[in-house]
Chain A
Amino acid sequence: MSGSMYDLSVATYSQEGRIYQVEYATKAVENSETVIGVKCKDGVILAGEKQKFSRLLEDNTNKRIYNIDNQTGMALCGKLPDGRNILQRAKAEASQYQDMYAIPASANVLSDRVSQYVHAYTMYSGVRPFGSATFIASYNTFDGYELYMIEPSGNKYAYHACAHGKGRAICKSEFERRNFKDLTCQDALVYVAKMLILSHEEFKEKKFEYEITWINDNNGRKHQTVPQDFINNAVQQAEQLIEQDQIGE
């Protein structure tokens, strides 16, 4: 057998020190629809595309982005059922923390606990690592806006901007071109929409939906879905931008 069977379980390292099952889980995320998180001047945005594999599907169902509590949101990239399991854990951690300490859990603390949970699934032979990367966006008075991404390995990083899924390379080049820290959330929406459209370009013929949420100074710092007309507007402008870029080339 070519992999010399080191890829069957997470409980054993390969001779090069790799845990193949965790790498395969990461592959599962890389094949997913794109999810983006960006911090802006006055807030943070979570965004994702949802492919509609059938015309029979209802609009705005099968969510990718959820509330954990009032000021915290979680976006799921990769396998949705796996992600929802992580989400459930995050919600439980957040509410237990609030019950115990009478203050909301900061994104730092919450992502710490969630990443420990995810990491536990990379250590035992009887389990499969989560095929899902999760984004946590949050606000608190002390740390301001925060954005974290937790990978299937249990690794957790704080980001200014991050993306995962099929369109991650496109998004990363867009992040390097533009400093989102100088933009308001409202202004950044266009570029977020642009990234989602470009990410989707390769699979043009499939229909898809935008799912965008934000926490910012203008909405009471609550994690909320961006109003549909804002999204429509941003998409329209983004399509124009893409057209201009193509003419420029």
Chain B
Amino acid sequence: MNYTEILSPKFEPETTGTTIMAVIYDGGLIIGADSRTSSGQFVADRCADKIDYVHDRIFCLRSGSAADTQTIAKYVRYYVDAHAQELGRLPAVATAANLFRNFLYEYKDSLSAAIIVAGWDPYKGPQIFTLPLGGSVIEQKWSIGGSGSTFIWGFCDANYKENMTLQEARAFVLHAVAHAMYRDGSSGGIIRLLNVTKDKIEREFIDYKDVPVK
């Protein structure tokens, strides 16, 4: 037996076996994600950033193939930037979501990517668009995604309230993601939060020792 034989089944493409989440609260929206990138059984990155910048107030949460989602995000970033330049003001979240959809639909056979687009725009305020495999777009008040999300549907259904305060929403996202990370083998590491409002964006890093469910 040689090393190649031992290792080869383990070198699978990196996937963000993931827990991602976004929730609208009163005055903004909050985004949460775990940080594990897996390659089969192997943790390729234990501190990944799955919250990608699209524009000043628009972000996307990546789940599925890391290569696919990073590349699509790169293209959409480019398109949104060119569009915003022409527009002369902040672009609509729906615009970013639609650009993602165009890629996801056109290349559905070759892509493994499920994305949540979340952000604030001056037209409709905070918005969340869920884009599952295949190229559909669903606008929601809250959205969860990735392999870890299957474990927290009940938690989210039971605990989501409309018009939460920032503190309530933050606690909700933090606990939901922590629970998912606890039960899902492909989610884990630390938690990243991002708060998006009209005036600012605020990142927060939750160290492993501070993750509430362990």
A112 to B86, CA, bound (A): 10
B98 touches A100 (CB 8 A): yes
Give Cα A101 to B85, complex, Å: 13
Listed stretches B34-42, B88-96, B159-167; interface member = B88-96
Check A102 against B94 for contact (C-beta < 8 Å): yes
Q: Does B102 contact A (CB under 8 A)?
A: yes
Picked from B86, B87, B92, the residue with its CB within 8 Å of the CB of A102 is B92
User: What CA separation (Å) do A101 and B100 show in the bound complex?
Assistant: 10
User: Is B97 a contact partner of A102 (Cβ separation < 8 A)?
Assistant: yes
Asked if residues B89 and A102 are in contact (CB atoms below 8 Å), the reply is: no
Q: How far is the CA of A142 from the CA of B86 in the complex (A)?
A: 14
Partner of B95, one of A102, A106, A142: A102
Whether the Cβ atoms of A101 and B98 lie closer than 8 Å is: yes
Q: Can you name the residue of chain A whose Cβ is closest to the Cβ of B122?
A: A142
Is B99's CB within 8 Å of the partner chain A? yes
A103 at the interface (CB under 8 A from B): yes
Check B123 for interface membership: any CB of A closer than 8 A: yes
B64 to chain A, nearest CB (A): 23
Tell me whether A141 is interfacial, beta carbon within 8 Å: yes
Question: Could you tell me if B122 and A102 are in contact, using CB atoms closer than 8 angstroms?
Answer: no
Type the 1/0 row for A90-116, where 1 means its CB is closer than 8 Å to any CB of B: 000000000011110010010010000
CB proximity of B145 to chain A, nearest CB, Å: 21
CB distance B92 to A103 under 8 Å? yes
Smallest beta-carbon distance A151→chain B, Å: 22
Are the CB atoms of A142 and B92 closer together than 8 Å?
A: no
Taking chain B's interface residues, is the majority helix, strand, or loop, or is none over half, making it mixed? helix
Q: State the Cβ distance, B187 to closest chain A Cβ, in Å.
A: 31
Asked if B89 and A103 sit within 8 Å, CB to CB, the answer is no
Size category of the binding interface on chain B: 10 to 19
| Majority DSSP secondary structure for residues of A touching B | loop
Q: Which residues of A contact B89 (CB under 8 A)?
A: 142
B183 within 8 A of A: no
Interface residue tally on A, bucketed by range: under 10
User: In the complex, what residue of chain B is closest to A102 when comparing beta carbons?
Assistant: B98
Whether A103 pairs with B94 at a CB distance below 8 angstroms is yes
Query: Can you name the residue of chain B whose Cβ is closest to the Cβ of A98?
Result: B98
Contact check, B86 vs A109: say whether CB atoms are below 8 A apart: yes
Return chain A residues, CB-CB under 8 Å to B86.
Answer: 109, 112
Q: Would you call A100 and B99 a contact (CB within 8 A)?
A: yes
Cα of A179 to Cα of B122 in the assembled complex, Å: 32
Closest residue on chain B to residue A141 by CB atoms: B123
Docked Cα-Cα span, A142 to B90, in Å, equals 11
> Are the CB atoms of B122 and A103 closer together than 8 Å?
no
Please name the residue on chain B nearest to A109 by beta carbon: B86
A109–B102 alpha-carbon span in the complex (Å): 22
CA distance A106 to B91 in the complex (A): 13
Of residues 71 to 95 in A, which have CB atoms within 8 Å of B's CB atoms? Answer: none
Q: In the complex, A49→B95 CA distance in Å? A: 40
User: Is B83 in contact with chain A by the CB < 8 A criterion?
Assistant: yes
Output the least CB separation between A154 and chain B (Å): 18
Determine if B123 and A101 form an interchain contact, defined as CB atoms under 8 angstroms apart. Answer: no
Residues of A within 8 A of B123 (CB): 103, 141-142
Query: Of all chain B residues, which has the CB nearest A112?
Result: B86
Min CB gap B172→A, angstroms: 29
Contact residues, B53-102 vs A (CB, 8 A): 83, 86-87, 89, 91-92, 94-95, 97-99, 102
A112 CA to B102 CA in the complex, in Å?
A: 25
**Complex Cα distance A106/B83, Å?**
12
Other A-B pairs beyond A101-B91, A103-B92, A103-B123, 10, CB < 8 Å? A100-B102, A101-B92, A101-B95, A101-B99, A102-B95, A102-B97, A103-B95, A106-B87, A109-B86, A141-B123
6 pairs, A vs B, C-beta closer than 8 Å: A100-B99, A106-B87, A141-B123, A142-B89, A142-B122, A142-B123
Identify the 3 closest CB pairs spanning chains A and B, nearest first. A102-B98, A102-B94, A101-B95
| Interface positions of A (Cβ within 8 A of B) | 100-103, 106, 109, 112, 141-142
